[in-house]
A and B are shown apart, each in its own frame.
Chain A
Amino acid sequence: MRAYQDMVFSTAVRLTGNPAQAEDISQEVFLRAYESFDNLRASPKVGGWLKTVATNLTLNHLTRHRKRWRLFSEVFSDDSREEEIESAAGVFDNVLGELETDERRARVEQALERLPDHQRVPLVLYHYEEMPYQDIADRLGISLAKVKTDILRGRVAMAGLLAPSGLGAPNARRRSPSTPSGAQT
């Protein structure tokens, strides 16, 4: 368990953005692993099995909020302008490079946690779990176009939170999806 607990917890916390919920989900993952212990003991794929179960349980947990999440996803149109995207790229390219490793790590974690669910979940599935857009759309029950929009807006919003005036700025918490990049301009 010790060998995999960080991986399982990280998978859950990146998707939920909530350490307490992630701990509950991690506990459930290991209890299920214990139930399948005879099959998993000798399997070389135990890490993959745990990651899959952690991802599925977390997504099932988030499904409870699906209606609200889908509503937000449908309501806000994609109005990310090119200069916002370039500005966001600048944050990732320059600002983060100037930070110490530990500070950068902490700020990225914080920014990810503060993204709204409908941006964070597809972003994490795409970048961490390396799921294709279509698989994300199928898994979340939203359209392909919305997945792409939410991921793009999530990146821009994350850059807004990571910008020098982002995290810690009073208006940076849970930025509205319609104004994701207001802080970095």
Chain B
Amino acid sequence: MSSRDPSDEKLERLVSQVLRDQPLRPAPASLEARVLGELAARARLPWWRRAIASWPAAVRIPVIAVCAVCVPLVWILSLWLAGRLVSLATHPSVAKPIATVWDTGRTIAALGTITAHIIQSIPREWLFGGFIATAALYGVLFALAAAGYSLLCPRPGYSKAHLT
């Protein structure tokens, strides 16, 4: 139906005519009251809970000025803090614990690599079998625990007599 044929055009023209002859639908009577009610509710809000554009100029301008000052201030503070941290890191009292943390991290990474190699060297069937056996054992353990719990600790007050 990609090409326009006379029947398409006729239908389009008729639909246009019918729809454009339609009058506007009257808005519900409640609309005006709803809008006015919402405006009144907003007007009752204290100024600091409204949009900043509607704040009093005596407040808005200082707030904007403070914000404008805050941005470069945060940058300067961040740079200063970064410099301080770098100089602190070179201090012997801090450098030693940091080196310890680094060494620990490297050891853990090396252990991870060794473990990965070991796992890769194990045949896949053994791994799957191990996973299935572990899951089965957990299942059995859970079933035994649930059965033991229901035998040893019966729930009070829920006998069949109560249910019926």
- Which residues does A use to contact B, with CB under 8 Å? 1-2, 5-10, 13-14, 19, 23, 26-27, 30-31, 34-35, 78, 80, 82, 85-86, 88-89, 92-93, 96, 104-105, 108-109, 112, 123, 127-128, 145, 148-149, 152, 155-156, 158-159
Contact = CB atoms under 8 A, between A and B. Distances in A.
B34 A27 contact: yes
Contacts of B8: 85, 152
B1 A13 contact: no
Interface of B: 1-2, 5, 7-8, 10-12, 14-20, 22-28, 30-32, 34-35, 38-39, 42, 51
A96 B19 CA distance: 12
Given A109-B22, A128-B20, A6 B27 contact: yes
B27 A92 contact: no
Contacts of B23: 105
Contacts of A148: 1-2
Contacts of A35: 51
Contacts of A31: 35, 38-39, 42
A1 B25 contact: no
Given A6-B25, A127-B20, A92 B38 contact: no
Nearest to B16: A127
A86 B11 CA distance: 7
Nearest to A33: B35
A92 B18 contact: yes
Contacts of B7: 82, 85-86, 89
A145 B2 CA distance: 7
Given A31-B38, A31-B39, A92-B15, 6 more contacts: A9-B25, A9-B28, A14-B25, A19-B28, A82-B7, A149-B1
A159 B26 CA distance: 24
A78 B1 contact: yes
A34 B11 contact: no
Contact of A105 (B1, B22, B30): B22
A1 to B, nearest CB: 6
A27 B18 CA distance: 28
B32 A5 contact: yes
